[in-house]
Structure 1
Amino acid sequence: MKRKSVLITATDTGVGKTFISYNIVLTLKEMGIRVGYFKPVETDVKDVPADGSLLCSITGQDLEEAVPIRYSLPLSPYAGILEEGKDFSLDALKEQYLKLLERYDFLVVEGAGGIAVPIKRDYNYADLAKDWGLDIIIVSRAGLGTINHTYLTYFYAISKGLNVLGIVMNGFEGRDVSERTNPIIVEELTGIKPIKVPKVEGLVLDRSVREKLVTLATNL
């Protein structure tokens, strides 16, 4: 294992970070690798954290370990602080990350929303990735509108000094004519050839696609 952890971030909310995280974690588990999951903050939690519960069903982790900070409203973490009045310590989050890094062979860290979403005032997921030394994978949509969102996310990441391992374009269906050209143009703009992920029924991707994602994340 050449890399110990990765941040799965995105161009927006609802793009498929949890879906991509799930397939990476599932494949590593099948490979016999001791893999952990960490979502520092999950919002829109009505009872139990949905994303955390899904991933912990694979890793076997306790939810308190995997998702330490939760807000009930579907907002950014910082907006959750403002609306719900519950603050938290960035130092404590990093301490938890370092503990998990020691406990597992590989750790998938998942953000909330896009890379510029604020976790605290003047502190977002790009800052977290920088502080924690995390390389990142950007998840974006396959269809119309993704070029602008993907390029801006990539450009912002590199402007913050982050190492972008790759771009995963999620949800190819073949219905949108832009899907044919979007990966070509994104590669021309960023120098990164995106991994194209098809829309599937259920949660599990074809093994060949999952292996590409694992190679990208772990550098195996």
Structure 2
Amino acid sequence: MSSPLSLFVTGTDTEIGKTLVSCALLRGFAAAGLSTAAMKPIAAGASFNAEDGLWHNEDADQLDAAAGAVLPPEVRTPYLLKAPAAPHIVAAQEGRTLALAPIVECHREALRRADVVVVEGVGGFRVPIDREHDTADLAVALGVPVVLVVGMRLGCINHALLTAEAIVSRGLTLAGWVANRIDPAMRFADENIETIREWLDREHGAPLLGIVPHLAPPSADIAAKHLDMTTLLRTLREPIRAS
């Protein structure tokens, strides 16, 4: 029996489609015959549901809906924060400490429950968790390949190249990137995508895994049809490359 697979989904910024792409990846893995589970280890922004008596985060709920194996809430999201703001700020206000070790342990548990576990980060790649650690440290602690979601809008080339450089500088495998067309009116979108594709391939060997069109409303099933799961699975099954 093959070992379970996992990846960390990060983005060039917040609100650029990490959850949509994460859900699309879950659908794609399922279509490839793999059982799936998802984690949103740190979620900032929650509302109380009187029907089940629980606090819910919209992104985490979407991941649950897309995954085949739904994890217990405390495993899927060990740190659920109420205010929609930078997690280290909200955690301090709520008197909580965000630690990497519990997340790593929850990830181990998730790997026991599915063939592939998709872990969605919070915000961009270097969002602080506390005064010393950020989400880049979380990706390193998990030790899994990274998929970068690039929100296609003005400034995305710089954001994509900087984020990719930060990922690789941590010794992580950049398994590929997804262009998400969040701004349907963006000028020269195709040219921007081609520029990013050329640079990320040349500098890091990171393939373009797909171009997700502007979707209103968002649909993980439609987005999944635009992803190259064959290339991604091949990368995930390779031994981790040394930096």
Q: Indicate whether the TM-score tops 0.5.
A: yes
Gaps of 5+ in 1: none
- Output the aligned Cα RMSD: 2.1
Q: Which residue of 2 aligns with 1:158?
A: 168
- For 1:2-41, what aligned pairs fall within 5 Å after superposition? 4-41=5-42
- Match for residue 146 of structure 1? 156
Q: Report whether the alignment pairs 1:209 with 2:226.
A: yes
SS in 2 for 1:205: helix
How many residue pairs align between the two structures?
A: 218
**Where does residue 170 of structure 1 map in the other structure?**
180
What TM-score does the superposition give when structure 2 sets the normalisation length?
0.81
Cα separation, 2, equivalents of 1:172 and 1:69: 28
Instruction: Indicate how the Cα distance of structure 1 residues 206 and 216 shifts in structure 2: closer, same or farther if over 3 A, else same.
Output: same
Which of structure 1's runs of 4+ aligned residues deviate more than 4 A?
A: none
Matched, 1:51 2:45: no
Structure 2 residue matching 1:97: 3-state secondary structure? helix
Return closer, same or farther for 1:72/1:185 CA change in 2, 3 Å cut-off.
same
Once the two structures are superposed, what CA deviation does each residue of 1:33-68 show, in whole Å capped at 9, x if it has no partner?
A: 210001111111122111111111233513333112
In structure 1, the partner of 2:240 is none
The change in CA–CA distance for 1:172 and 1:79 in structure 2 (over 3 A counts) is closer
Distance in 2 (CA, whole Å) between partners of 1:216 and 1:42 is 29
Task: Give the CA deviation at 1:7.
Answer: 0.2
Q: Which runs of 5+ in 2 are unaligned?
A: 49-55, 238-243
Query: How far apart, in 2, do the equivalents of 1:52 and 1:206 lie?
Result: 18
Cα gap change, 1:87 to 1:51, in 2 (>3 Å) = same
* TM-score normalised per structure 1: 0.89
User: In the TM superposition, what is the alpha-carbon distance from 1:130 to its structure 2 partner?
Assistant: 1.4
- Give the distance between the partners of 2:57 and 2:169, measured in 1 at CA: 32
Identity among equivalent positions (%) equals 27
Q: Distance in 2 between matches of 1:180 and 1:31?
A: 29
